[in-house]
Structure 1
Amino acid sequence: MMNWTELTLDWAASFPRVKDRFPHLDDGAMPFLKLDQSRFEAYLADTHQLTLNEAREEFADFLFVESLNRELDT
């Protein structure tokens, strides 16, 4: 499964897919949030009216789907 480090290694390419899944993200906040997964998940919860646990689960699902997409591309 894709992890946070893999996602942020190429943030410029990854962020549009993250934004498609979580449309209420503010582009301006990302330079600071991409440095810390916990802060990102808390921000995700706040901006998408989710609990912190729901945000973590939604983000884990997103990473899983991204992993599947990457496997299909290879």
Structure 2
Amino acid sequence: MTWTDMTADWATWYRRLQIRFPKLDDAAMPFSKLDRDRFEAYLADVQNLTLTEAREEVEDFLYIQSLLCEAEDGHEAA
């Protein structure tokens, strides 16, 4: 999954982001979703992470979500 994939269905993915990152503020999201770098900087700030840690967290989130989507697709095909 890519950032572009996620922002195409932002409402769904934002709920999942909130589970992983509970300090996200709804008011900041319409602006942050447009720019991954801006989102990562915002995430670092609110979650008390370094920018590198925030980038790694976003990468991990996208990777894990892509694995979950693949598993769901494989389960439906069986």
TM-score by length of 1: 0.96
* Uncovered stretches (5+) of structure 1, i.e. residues with no partner: none
Partner residue of 2:76? none
1:30 matches 2:29: yes
Task: Summarize deviations over 1:1-51 as a string: whole Å, max 9, x none.
Answer: x11000000001111001101110001110000000000000000000000
Partner residue of 1:16? 15
Q: Percent identity?
A: 59
Partner residue of 2:42? 43
Partner residue of 2:59? 60
Kindly tell me the number of residue pairs found equivalent between the two proteins. Answer: 73
Distance between the aligned counterparts of 1:62 and 1:34, measured in 2? 15
Give 1:9's aligned amino acid. A
Give the number of the structure whose alpha-carbon radius of gyration is greater: 2
Bigger relative CO (Cα 8 Å, ≥ 6 apart): 1
**Runs ≥4 residues deviating over 3 A:** none
Pairwise CA distance, 1:73: 1.0
Query: Helix, strand or coil for the counterpart of 1:58?
Result: helix
* Uncovered stretches (5+) of structure 2, i.e. residues with no partner: 74-78
Distance between the aligned counterparts of 2:47 and 2:24, measured in 1? 8
RMSD of aligned Cα (Å): 0.5
Query: Helix, strand or coil for the counterpart of 2:31?
Result: helix
